[in-house]
């Protein structure tokens, strides 16, 4: 296998994993919508669209001690997530669309 073919294989695998990750993020957000519709709607409104909201929920954040919002919810800290979304925990304002940019 040539170097070029190896890299093509790597690129293809990364694209496959990225697509799976996108599906998983949207599936997780659908679960949030069913569990706490008000929180999901507020996050979506603050960030502009459902995809950004889904990405934000997966991002590890200082506000959550380096955890994602999902991890924070799983630890039973729903009030901490609400505080972050509402901007009421000493953080500058509520969520902004720029916060949903995810580094891959």
* Per-residue pLDDT at 103 exceeds 70: no
User: Residue 26's CB: how many other CB atoms inside 10 A?
Assistant: 15
Please, which pLDDT band fits residue 1 given cuts at 50, 70 and 90? confident
pLDDT computed for residue 87 by the predictor: 87
- Name the β-bridge partners of 41: none
43 near 57, Cβ under 8 Å? yes
Condensed to tens digits (0 to 9), the pLDDT of residues 31-79 reads 999 999 999 999 999 999 999 999 999 999 999 999 999 999 999 999 9
| Whole-model pTM over 0.75 | yes
56 near 96, Cβ under 8 Å? no
């Amino acid at each position: 296998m040539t170097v070029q073919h190896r890299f093509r294989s790597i690129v293809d695998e990364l694209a496959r994993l990225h697509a799976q990750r996108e599906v998983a993020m949207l599936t997780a957000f659908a679960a949030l919508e069913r569990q706490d519709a008000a929180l999901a709607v507020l996050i979506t409104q603050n960030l502009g669209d459902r995809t950004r909201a889904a990405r934000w929920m997966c991002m590890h954040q200082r506000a959550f001690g380096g955890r994602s919002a999902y991890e924070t919810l799983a630890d039973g800290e729903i009030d901490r997530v609400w505080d972050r979304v509402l901007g009421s925990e000493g953080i500058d304002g509520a969520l902004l669309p720029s916060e949903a940019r995810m580094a891959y």
